[in-house]
């Protein structure tokens, strides 16, 4: 723990010491649960009065950066116990402290930025990032992943990711399997995107084929891409016997589906449609969701 105390500074010694310890905790030089030097040992090392060290330690204990127990050395508060200021200091306050202490120790803002970025990249992901060009498909993928996996989900396009590489910090990226070659070059080599395969429509095709009477079959979705795929998959089953229609949400009116016999709806549209013949089509294959869940459980 490299601490530099200046007795010529206008900043009190206790405050210099406390804020530099905060800096070492925030940048990972001091780990959760790590014991700090004893009061007298650190005072002797820094050539300051032991009361100054004791006051700095007590200040950080009150601010919940450190933990002090009778008969034991002061330790860094464990991660799961959280670190917060009783005054309600937020993230901006912590960043301000890091910048000020880094400058006091002679570090440049560039070096601080690089070090913080390295630490962020080393942390395990805390959310899923869906990368998809079609805005409607982004909504569908987010909806189905949220429903299947209890994790925060963010979305962006490939162009947005290319323009702002910071979007992948803290994220486990996912993309349709056909888009992986375009997405992975935008991500760190050790964190490639998880490919998502779309579910087969065999049962939906079979449902159309089994209809004996000529029918009107509708596909309703929030995504143009979804509708295009459905058209190519279902048109062979519909042939000339059935009429295939497509509707992009929002619908133009409550009765627009009144003459339709069967409605295939995506995971979002199915909640908004009132129709006796509605059939849900889930976009993501179950095996892909299971693989994604297993990837999140890996350390």
Least confident of 55-64, 77-86, 191-200: 77-86
How much is the pLDDT for 87? 47
Answer positive or negative: Cα dihedral of 211, 216, 222, 227: positive
How much is the pLDDT for 103? 79
Q: What angle do CA 160, 162, 167 make, to 5 degrees?
A: 65
**Long-range contacts for 282-286 (Cβ within 8 Å, ≥24 apart)?**
282/144, 282/199, 283/137, 283/140, 283/141, 283/144, 283/198, 283/199, 283/226, 284/141, 284/144, 284/145, 284/148, 284/196, 284/197, 284/198, 284/199, 285/196, 285/197, 285/198, 285/199, 285/200, 286/199
Write the class of the CATH domain 202-281.
Answer: alpha beta
Range(s) within the chain of domains with CATH label 3.40.50:
127-198+289-297, 202-281
CATH fold for domain 13-119 = Arc Repressor Mutant, subunit A (1.10.10)
How much is the pLDDT for 84? 46
CA distance 265 to 279: 6
Q: Does the pLDDT of residue 29 top 90, yes or no?
A: no
Task: Give residue 89's pLDDT band: very low, low, confident or very high (50, 70, 90).
Answer: low
Q: In the block, which residue shows the tokens 């917060």?
A: 84
Percent of the chain with pLDDT over 90: 49
What average pLDDT score do residues 84-106 get? Answer: 69
pTM above 0.75, yes or no: no
Q: Does the pLDDT of residue 85 top 60, yes or no?
A: no
Helix H or strand E encompassing 25: helix 13-26
* Mean pLDDT of all residues belonging to the chain: 87
How much is the pLDDT for 299? 52
**Parallel, antiparallel, or unpaired for β 262-265 and 194-196?**
unpaired
Task: Give residue 52's pLDDT band: very low, low, confident or very high (50, 70, 90).
Answer: very high
Q: What is the CATH number of domain 127-198+289-297?
A: 3.40.50
pLDDT tens per residue, range 241-277: 899 999 999 998 878 998 999 999 999 999 988 888 8
Task: Give residue 298's pLDDT band: very low, low, confident or very high (50, 70, 90).
Answer: low
How much is the pLDDT for 191? 86
Q: Does the pLDDT of residue 82 top 70, yes or no?
A: no
How much is the pLDDT for 186? 94
Hey, what are 47's tokens?
Answer: 């050539």
Task: Give residue 37's pLDDT band: very low, low, confident or very high (50, 70, 90).
Answer: very high
**Parallel, antiparallel, or unpaired for β 278-280 and 127-131?**
unpaired
How much is the pLDDT for 182? 93
How much is the pLDDT for 146? 95
CA distance 54 to 57: 5
pLDDT tens per residue, range 144-197: 999 999 899 999 999 999 999 889 888 999 999 989 999 999 998 888 999 999
How much is the pLDDT for 265? 94
Range(s) within the chain of domains with CATH label 1.10.10.10:
13-119
What average pLDDT score do residues 68-94 get? Answer: 67
Q: Does the pLDDT of residue 5 top 80, yes or no?
A: yes
């Amino acid at each position: 723990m490299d601490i530099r105390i200046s007795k010529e500074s206008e900043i009190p010694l206790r405050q210099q010491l406390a804020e530099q310890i905060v800096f070492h905790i925030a940048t990972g030089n001091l780990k959760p649960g790590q014991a700090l030097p004893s009061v007298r040992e650190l005072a002797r090392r820094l050539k300051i009065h032991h009361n100054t060290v004791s006051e700095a330690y007590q200040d950080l204990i009150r601010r919940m950066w450190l933990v002090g127990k009778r008969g034991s050395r002061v330790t860094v508060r464990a991660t799961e116990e959280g670190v917060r200021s009783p005054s309600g200091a937020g993230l901006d306050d912590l960043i301000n402290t890091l910048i000020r202490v880094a400058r006091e120790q002679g570090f440049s803002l560039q070096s601080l930025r690089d070090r913080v970025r390295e630490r962020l990249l080393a942390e395990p992901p805390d959310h899923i990032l869906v990368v998809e060009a079609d805005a409607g498909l982004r909504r569908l993928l987010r909806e189905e992943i949220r429903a299947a996996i209890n994790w925060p989900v963010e979305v962006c396009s490939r162009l947005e990711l290319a323009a702002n590489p910071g979007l992948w910090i803290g994220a486990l990226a996912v993309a349709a399997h056909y888009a992986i070659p375009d997405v992975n070059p935008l991500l760190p080599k050790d964190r490639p995107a998880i490919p998502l395969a779309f579910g087969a429509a065999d049962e939906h095709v079979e449902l159309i084929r089994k209809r004996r009477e000529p029918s009107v079959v509708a596909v309703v979705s929030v995504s143009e891409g979804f509708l295009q795929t459905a058209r190519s998959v279902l048109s062979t089953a519909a042939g000339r016997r059935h009429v295939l229609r497509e509707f992009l949400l929002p619908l133009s009116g409550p009765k627009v589906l009144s003459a339709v016999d069967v409605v295939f709806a995506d995971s979002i549209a199915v909640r908004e449609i009132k129709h006796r013949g509605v059939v849900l089509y889930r976009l993501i294959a179950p095996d892909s969701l299971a693989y994604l869940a297993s990837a999140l459980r890996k350390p």
